[in-house]
Structure 1
Amino acid sequence: MTAQEPGTPPTPNTPAADGTPAVAGTPATPGTLDRAKLFAARLHAARVRPYLATALFALHVVESRRVPTMSVDRHWRCYVSPVFVDRTPLEELAGVWVHEVSHLLRDHHGRSDRVARERELRGPAERLRMNIAADFEINDDVYGDGLARPEGVVEPRLLGLAENQLMEDYLRQFGVGPRTRDLAWLDCGSGADGMDREWELGPDGAHGLSEQDRDAVRFRVAQGITGRPGNAPQGWRRWAEEAFHPPQPWRELLGAAVRSAASGPGGGEDYTYGRPARRSVAVPGTVLPSLRRRPPRVAVIIDTSGSVSDAELGSALLEVAEIARAVGGRRDLVSVVPCDASAGLARRLCRAEGIPLTGGGGTDLRAGFARALSSRPAPDVIVALTDGQTPWPGSRPPCRTVVGLFPRQYRSHAYDESDPEYVPDTPPAWARVVDIGS
């Protein structure tokens, strides 16, 4: 039979008893992709998951004998094995369609790249682990309600893990080892774990979606989910809310803000006679110093008042380690000042876990700023990690300032221990502000 064009659903005959469409025409030639069966499965998936229809029909099919089953790349191409289509029942193929498009809608490739950078995960084994974790995230609400559950589907219970968690949470709970040996075959493509494959067409290949097109598809799917509340599983409803209100990559923003502040005029600059200035040739007999950029010194003020939770203090220690990486890993150039109503000693960073975060009283980060600025040598950058319930210095410090704000649901109506009507000042205009954890 003549294969149909990708993206065009086949013309069904009378539906089968279970409600799935029958495929018109004769079986496909052995060794070729049975597109009629594949597209009938997609049509069935769109009927039982109508809120995903826009995404399902946005995928462009590429026949490939190098993929074990079906896989997707980050440009919304779906690579399909003809042998897999031949041996898989149509009802199960519909579930695979939903599975693969779920990777793309939930941006598993972008999230895998971010996790790899943040946790310094490298190599194919770690990317396989990300693929497994991504499958755990989506498979707990893919099947049922019209989609058959294939035998051997990858689910959290295989490793004794709880359902309804995110990929990032699962990654913390298992490693590559004997328990995952039987999952080494798994390969959902770069759309699942961010690692490009040799058989993928890449960014310059045909029929890929642009970044704007991908965002448009996600937005329309999110509209379909939020427009009919109660019809989609909890995981999809949570995703749709985040699609309308995407979280900031706050750790990247914080690192970028520190690097930007450290590289500004006057940040980490000093004169040295170790390398004479080039303009010395214009003044015979005189050696002029050259301007040298040294690694910046960073002072981190951590709000330890009673309004900051233990979890936020733990997060602050993680941010201290990230700040050290943002300035080249020189921990000896990073100092930490714990501060509530008064400032503690400024301590050089050896290990983030070894910094004593004492406090628990009221809040006045002005004391922390004063302590940081009085240290010698003086810092090039000050980073304040706080919930915002504090007065701020009345004038701009003589160095760059970055403020990392812990989330507060009612920050505009925040209060301190002594005055329930007190509304704190917002961070000053001279500080670069990054919302942490939102």
Structure 2
Amino acid sequence: MTPILDSEKLFAARLLAVRARPYLATALYALNIVESRRVPTMAVDRCWRCYVSPAFVDHTPVENLASILVHEVSHLLRDHHGRSDRFAQAHNLSGPAERLRMNIAADAEINDDAFGDGLIQPEDAVTPATLGLSSGELMEDYLHQFRLTVTTQHLAWLDCGSGADGLDREWDLGPDGADVLTEQQRDAVKFRVAQGIVGRPGDAPEGWRRWADRALHPPQPWRDLLGAALRSAASAPGLGETHTYSRPSRRATALPRTILPTLRRTPPHVTVIIDTSASVSDTELGSALLETTAIARTLGGRKDLLTVISCDAAAHIAGPFCHSESIPLIGGGGTDLCTGFAKAARAQPRPDVLVVLTDGQTPWPTHRPSARTVVGLFRRPITWTDDDTGYIPDQPPSWARVVEIG
């Protein structure tokens, strides 16, 4: 006789999960339970449906079901289906075997700190220790560190559904089926969960805190930010505006015996200062050249409007831009971009916009330059602590618009 889904037992497990992880309550109650006799145990899809086997619920203790519900909803909150698709596309991976490997890696990321404090750990839960790997890493990190071998063949049964690895299953109802959460509803659930984690200091594990910080403050594409900062600086009021008598003013009709000049806006002159000190890698210098080329395109390819200065402890070369291959980047010594700022200030014509591409490990001018300044800052790990009371890290000045690169 086919068992009937014990909904009361499943709802009791969800209540136990909410009590153990109150910051996940919004997500747990948003999860739509769907009875399915084709799913082996429990699985989720990307539309926030949780497919449940009645037989599995019947023989599984409530405490284990609570842990599994937290596990399954964690796949959806952490976007493992989308991340799996992006990883597979970036590394040209396909097939059920690779998707199984992604499911295993995603489980290792979740189960690292999912249990305890009211949630028991199921006996067959995959943890980083199961794979012989270190804890505290992401799914993508684990995927680079293990392969399916004889040591992992006992995990072939693992199937958390398309919500964990992005591969559609035969039991999925699809985006047009019932009990679907729209994309806006999913984002709202994630936002509420992230707010709950941030609002309860000390309760959530570090992995969830990192996730919440990323959910509330998603990283922005730095190329777009750098381009927007440059356009904002180049289009500032009064920049590039001059009066000329080459074209009569429209207001001259009011004064027939007076010749009035007209206001003309000229394209801005841009100077790019590239940090070529020893602390800047060749990869970062390549990125600087790419950004310089992008700036040249925004100026319509006019080489007379763009000047490039390479600078370490001294400003070595200043010249008009032709193409990125012709820029001689000389340096490799210490860093003092003040010399680059001084050289740009002496140039004729003076620049309207300064773009500085640097790692930030440099002294900065004490006085604000006349040109509007945009700083593209190569990211660096923090190498100082609060114990280093005598050390003050260099920071870009407040008058510069700063965009982190990388």
Task: Provide the alpha-carbon RMSD of the alignment.
Answer: 4.5
2:131 is the alignment partner of 1:162: no
Q: 1:406 aligns with which of 371, 375, 379?
A: 379
Alignment of 1:157-236 (within 5 A): 157-236=129-208
Q: Within 5 Å, which residues of 2 pair with 1:72-111? A: 72-111=44-83
Point out where structure 1 has 5 or more consecutive residues left out of the alignment. Answer: 1-28, 259-299, 324-336, 349-354, 371-381, 410-418
Once residues 161 and 127 of structure 2 are traced to their aligned partners in structure 1, the CA distance between those partners, rounded to angstroms, is 18
Q: Answer yes or no: is the 8 Å Cα contact 2:275–2:312 preserved in 1.
A: yes
Relative to structure 1, the CA distance from residue 425 to residue 238 in structure 2 (aligned partners, 3 Å threshold; closer, same or farther) is closer
Q: Distance in 2 between matches of 1:199 and 1:357?
A: 61
How many residues align? The count is 317
* Contact 2:335 2:361 survives alignment (8 Å): no
C-alpha separation in 2, matches of 1:122 and 1:383? 39
Partner Cα distance (1:76, 1:178) in 2: 33
CA contact (8 A) 2:13 2:63 kept: yes
Q: How does 1:377-392 map to 2 (within 5 A)?
A: 387=360
Measured after TM superposition, the shift of residue 199 of structure 1 is 2.5
Q: Aligned residue for 1:18?
A: none
The one-letter amino acid of 1:123's match is: S
Give the secondary-structure state (helix, strand or coil) at the position aligned to 1:196. coil
Give the whole-Å Cα distance in 2 for the aligned partners of 1:99 and 1:71: 10
Match status 1:435 vs 2:393? no
Instruction: Measure, in 2, the Cα distance between the counterparts of 1:49 and 1:420.
Output: 39
| CA deviation string 1:41-70 (max 9, x = no partner) | 112111222221111010011222332221
Structure 1 residues 303 and 91: alpha-carbon distance in aligned structure 2, compared to 1, 3 A threshold? same
Q: Using the alignment, how far apart are the partners of 1:365 and 1:103 within structure 2?
A: 52
- The reply to whether residue 361 of structure 1 matches residue 343 of structure 2 is no
Q: Distance in 1 between matches of 2:226 and 2:144?
A: 27
Normalising by structure 2, we get a TM-score of 0.62
Contact 1:62 1:77 in 2 (8 A): yes
Q: 1:123 and 2:94 equivalent?
A: yes
Change (3 A) 1:317 1:305: closer
1:88 positional shift: 1.5
| CA separation of 1:53 and 1:173: change in aligned 2, threshold 3 A | same
Question: Is the contact between residue 304 and residue 358 of structure 1 (CA under 8 Å) also seen in structure 2?
Answer: yes
In the aligned structure 2, how far is the partner of 1:73 from the partner of 1:383?
46
1:245-260 matches, cutoff 5 A: 246-248=217-219, 250=221, 254=223
Please tell me whether Structure 1 or Structure 2 has the larger radius of gyration of its CA atoms: 2
Q: Distance in 1 between matches of 2:169 and 2:330?
A: 46
CA contact (8 A) 2:35 2:53 kept: yes
CA distance 1:113–1:421, shift in 2 (3 Å): closer
Distance 1:114 1:343, change over 3 A: farther
Query: Contact 1:190 / 1:196 at 8 angstroms: preserved in 2?
Result: yes
Over 3 Å counting, the alpha-carbon distance change for 1:108 and 1:365 in structure 2 is: farther
- Which deviates further from its counterpart, 207-216 or 88-97? 207-216
Name the CA distance, whole Å, in 2 between partners of 1:133 and 1:343. 50
C-alpha deviation, 1:85, in angstroms: 1.6
2:210 aligned counterpart, secondary structure: helix
Residue 119 of structure 2 corresponds to residue 147 of structure 1: yes
Give 3-state SS (helix, strand or coil) of 1:435's partner: strand
Shift of 1:209: 1.0
Alpha-carbon separation, structure 2, partners of 1:30 and 1:204: 28
Shift of 1:71: 1.4
Identity across matched positions, percent: 57
- How far apart, in 2, do the equivalents of 1:255 and 1:120 lie? 25
Go from structure 1 to structure 2 and tell me whether the alpha carbon gap of 1:315 and 1:67 turns closer, same or farther (over 3 Å shift). Answer: farther
CA distance in 1, matches of 2:86, 2:184: 20
Instruction: Extract unaligned runs of 5+ from structure 2.
Output: 228-271, 292-308, 318-322, 345-354, 383-391
Is the aligned partner of 1:55 residue 2:55? no
Pair 96,347 (structure 1): closer, same or farther in 2 beyond 3 Å: same
Per the TM alignment, residue 302 of structure 1 is displaced from its structure 2 partner at its CA by 7.0
Q: Structure 1 CA distance, aligned partners of 2:285 and 2:170?
A: 40
1:373 paired residue number = none
In structure 2, relative to structure 1, the CA distance for the partners of 1:248 and 1:237 (3 Å cut) is: closer
Structure 1: distance between partners of 2:184 and 2:86: 20
Quick one: distance in 1 between partners of 2:215 and 2:156? 31
Question: After TM superposition, what 4+ stretches of structure 1 lie above 6 angstroms from structure 2?
Answer: 255-258, 317-320, 364-367, 388-391, 393-396, 419-422, 425-428
Q: Distance in 2 between matches of 1:357 and 1:172?
A: 36
**CA-to-partner distance for each residue in 1:99-123, whole Å, 9 max, x for gaps?**
0011111222233333344x42421
